[in-house]
Amino acid sequence: MTVALDILMTASLWEAVLRIATPLIFGVLGALICERAGVLNLGIEGIMTLGAMVGWLTVYWGGDLWLGMAVAVLVGMMMGWLHAMLTVPLGLSQHVSGLGITLLASALAYYLYRLWVEVGDLPPTIVPFQPLAVPGLSSIPFLGEAVFTQMPPTYVALILVVLVAWFLNRTPAGLALRMTGENPHAVEAQGLNPHRIRIWAVMVGSGLMALGGAFLTTAAFNSFFPTMVQGRGWICIALVVFASWRPGKALIGALLFALFDAFQLRLQTVVEGVPYQLFLMAPYVLSIVALVLVARRARVPEALMQPYRRGER
């Protein structure tokens, strides 16, 4: 017990929690935007992988780190466009299309990587983002180290949570997006185009997913390998449910998962005699438990996964 407390009391644990949470925050916000508009986007796992690759590659080819992020967003939006075209105007199964996008994007990422990058014994590396101490705030004891000495994209992720919440709840476009996920017929009856809204939502959401992927290769690590997303996309899909489709709760969910993860990593090193796989498993098991506890009360967007076809009753 004291071991656990000791671990919880270290600022470096909390610093790691935010770092681990960052790609999840991007991913879960992206998935949330898609779903609030009524489209499930299971392309997330692949989109994150592809985002990780192109973000890294841009930097590897001499681009700025932020340019890498921007390229990832753009490529993510292209994948989102594809998913949107299949599921919105054509109204195909969102599950099938999403899984297809994941397969396509993951394969494309690895293919392009092998095509364009000379790989020796060790994968080539770039110079990643460096932690940025927020002037003033970073000198606060404990908090300064835990929260205000992060990679720049982490700050972006945190600001985005507020921005997305504000967008959804306080702007006409956000209202239109939510309404599209609840009742696209109502949207059309008010003179808006539900298809166009869904397409944009899926594109923007996919852009954010790709950003989450790019964080992995430009901040958390410094090289790309094809399996690096490691199910984070699927975690995000679960986190959206956990969060009842709310950005604030999504942040909490992402942090909670990251906490389990950071905690088990440290626990592994202190506790002996327990197979480490058990620790690896812990965050997932705990997430499922949390999901079961919370998700029963979740208020699902009513038109989630329901294609909207004009002029049909």
Partner 1 sequence: MIAGAVGPVLELEGISKRFGALLANDGVTLSLKKGEVLALLGENGAGKTTLMNILFGHYAADAGAVRVMGRALPPGRPQAAIAAGVGMVHQHFTLAGNLTVLENIVIGSESLWKVGMNRDGAIRKIEDLSRQFGLPVDPMARVGDLSVGERQRVEILKALYREARILILDEPTAVLARPEAEQLFRILKGMAKGGLSILFISHKLHEVMGASDRVVVLRQGRVVAERVTAETNPAELAELMVGRAVARPKRQAHAAGAPVVVAKGLRVSRGGGMALDGVDFEVRAGEILGIVGVSGNGQAMLGRVLSGLARPEGGSLTFDGRDIARMTPRQAVRMGIGRVPEDRHAEGVVGDLAVWENAVLERLRDYARLGFVRRRAAMDYAEALIARFDIRGAGPRTRTRALSGGNMQKLILGRNLAAGPRFLLANQPTRGLDEGAIAAVHQELLQARAEGAAILLISEDLDEAVGLADRLQAIVKGKLSAPIAAEAADARKLGLMMAGVWGTADAH
Binding-site ranges for ligand ATP (CB under 6 A): 311-313
| Site membership for partner 1, residue 12 (CB under 8 A) | no
CB of 161 to partner 1, least distance (A): 18
Cβ proximity to partner 1, 95 vs 185, nearer residue: 185
What does the CA dihedral 114, 60, 51, 295 come to, rounded to 10 degrees? 110
What does the CA dihedral 274, 275, 277, 279 come to, rounded to 10 degrees? 10
Cβ proximity to ligand ATP, 121 vs 312, nearer residue: 312
CB of 180 to ligand ATP, least distance (A): 20
CB of 185 to ligand ATP, least distance (A): 12
Cβ proximity to ligand ATP, 272 vs 312, nearer residue: 312
Quick one: which of 34, 82, 22, 76 has its CA closest to 52? 76
Quick one: which of 110, 97, 85, 112 has its CA closest to 44? 97
Cβ proximity to partner 1, 115 vs 189, nearer residue: 189
| Site membership for partner 1, residue 230 (CB under 8 A) | no
CB of 241 to partner 1, least distance (A): 15
Q: Which helix (H) or strand (E) holds 132?
A: strand 132-133
The residue type found at 161 is V
| Site membership for partner 1, residue 273 (CB under 8 A) | no
Question: Which of partner 1, ligand ATP, none does residue 187 bind to, with CB < 5 to 8 Å depending on kind?
Answer: partner 1
| Contact with partner 1 (CB under 8 A) among 179, 211, 220, 258 | 179
Q: Which stretch binds partner 1 (CB under 8 A): 48-56, 79-87, 116-124, 176-184?
A: 176-184
Question: Which of partner 1, ligand ATP, none does residue 191 bind to, with CB < 5 to 8 Å depending on kind?
Answer: partner 1
| Site membership for partner 1, residue 299 (CB under 8 A) | yes
In the region spanning residues 111 to 170, those forming contacts with partner 1, defined by CB under 8 A, are: 170
Q: Which helix (H) or strand (E) holds 213?
A: helix 194-215
Size (the chain), residues: 313
* Residue 313 to residues 81, 180, 308, Cα–Cα distance (Å): 27, 17, 10
User: 69, 203 in Cβ contact below 8 A?
Assistant: no
Nearest 5°: phi and psi at 132?
A: -115, 115
CA distance 85 to 83: 6
With H, G, I as helix, E, B as strand and everything else as coil, classify residue 255: helix
What is the binding site for partner 1 (CB under 8 A)?
Answer: 170-173, 175-176, 178-179, 182-183, 185-192, 299, 301-302, 310-311, 313
